[in-house]
Amino acid sequence: MSIRGISLLAASALSVFAAPVRVLNTDFPDPSLIKTDDGWYSFATAGNGVHVQVATSSDFKTWELLKGHDAIPGPFPDWTKKDGPEVWAPDVIKRDDGKFVMYFSALTSKDTSAHCIGTATATSIKGPYTPNDTPLVCPLDKNGAIDAVGFQDDDGTRYVIYKTEDADTTIHLQPMKSDGITPNGNTTTLLKKEPEDGILIEAPSLVKKDGTYYLTFSSHRFDTTKYDAKYATAKNVAGPYTRQGQILKTGDKTNNGTVTSPGGADFSEDGKKIVFHAHRNGKDVSQGRAMYRADISLSDGKITIN
């Protein structure tokens, strides 16, 4: 083979390696990401017969769904809908005391069409997680709140980022006490939807690298091909955040062909990896959303899939 041929082959291999990889070909929406001493874990929205799904990996490359394992089996507290809480978008953090806190959204008993955000604790990463008696955030005057995710800054301060379901579908920042459960101060608005976002923004995730905060979020409805992942940056955790553009969109290449409706991206704590979901079967949303992984780099306010 010629040197040119070898170069083209190497470039082709690099291109394939750089593309996001589908790692779970089952319905696993809204995946979150956390690394512990014994490997990687991802938690996902209710499906496959459980309230909160769990997947694991030893190397981030190959993932396994823990079939039948429910990280938060219940019972659920009185603030949740009795005949099915419909748990969405769980996210897990590890506290300094070694315990784990899960943020999740569930339908409420006061308004069974609205979700609010709850917390649950466990001594093991896999659970079982025990929900707390009161919700963390429950703005029913804003049609509820979803998509809570934890973040710890360099100085040790903890935060929860979430979105409200009001007309502006606003993304908020809530300072927390060290227990990860108790609010500590007022919320700050980070982003509101813009005309380019369609009817909503959602699914925030936050990471810091070299003094810059990177906030990812999705826009448009998940069941349309316009659904995507965008990001904004700031020099202060509370903003102001400047929009930078898309990182994932329909038509992007993966190891499984092009992707449809990618979004719900979540950072690893070091900002080197993400997981996200996309439709399993092209435009057929009835087949659910598969989980993908990708390596990324953060530099000079830019996110690159590499």
pLDDT tens digits along 145-192: 999 999 999 999 999 999 999 999 999 999 999 999 999 999 999 999
Listed in sequence order, the residues at least 6 apart from 77 whose beta carbon sits closer than 8 Å to its beta carbon are: 118, 131, 132, 133, 134
Residue 183: inside a domain, yes or no?
yes
Q: What is the pLDDT of residue 14?
A: 37
- Residue 214 domain boundaries: 28-245
Q: Is the pLDDT of residue 71 over 70?
A: yes
- Catalytic residue, chosen from 27, 30, 91, 228, is 30
Residue 198 makes CB contacts below 8 A (sequence gap 6+) with 219, 220, 221, 224, 226
Q: What's residue 4's pLDDT?
A: 43
* Domain-located, residue 66: yes
CATH number assigned to the domain comprising residue 149: 2.115.10.20
Between CA 75 and CA 185 the distance in angstroms is 30
**Would you say residue 255 lies in a domain?**
no
Which pLDDT score, from 0 to 100, does residue 256 have? 86
Confirm whether pTM is higher than 0.85.
Answer: yes
Instruction: Tell me whether residue 179 is one of the annotated catalytic residues.
Output: no
- Asked if residue 239 has pLDDT above 90, the reply is yes
Lowest mean pLDDT among 9-13, 199-203, 229-233: 9-13
Residue 12 pLDDT greater than 80, yes or no: no
Per-residue pLDDT averaged across 81-98, rounded?
97
Among residues 27, 91, 197, 202, the one annotated as catalytic is: 202
In the structure, how many helices (H) and strands (E) does the chain have?
1, 23
Q: Is 30 a residue of the active site?
A: yes
Question: What does 234-281 look like in DSSP terms, one character per residue?
Answer: ESSTT---EEEEEEE-TT-EEBTEE-SS-EEEEE-TTSSEEEEEEEEE
Please compute Rg for the chain using Cα positions: 19
In a domain, 258, yes or no: no
Q: Are strands 145-152 and 130-131 parallel, antiparallel or unpaired?
A: unpaired
pLDDT reading at 11 higher than 60? no
Round the average pLDDT of the chain to a whole number and report it. Answer: 94
| Residue 299 confidence class, pLDDT cut points 50, 70, 90 | very high
Residue 303 lies in a domain: no
Residue 39, Ramachandran bin (φ over 0: left; ψ between -120 and 50: alpha; else beta): left
In this prediction, residue 18 carries a pLDDT of 65
| Phi and psi based region of residue 236 (left: phi greater than 0; alpha: psi -120 to 50; beta: remaining) | beta
What is the tens place of the pLDDT at every residue in 15-47? 334 689 999 999 999 999 999 999 999 999 999
User: What's residue 7's pLDDT?
Assistant: 40
Residue of higher predicted confidence among 189 and 283: 189
| pLDDT of the residue at 108 | 98
Whether 269 is in a domain gets the answer no
273 falls within a domain = no
In a domain, 215, yes or no: yes
Q: How many domains does the chain have?
A: 1
Nearest alpha carbon to residue 163 among 149, 175, 152, 177: 149
Q: What is the pLDDT of residue 284?
A: 82
Give residue 131's pLDDT.
Answer: 98
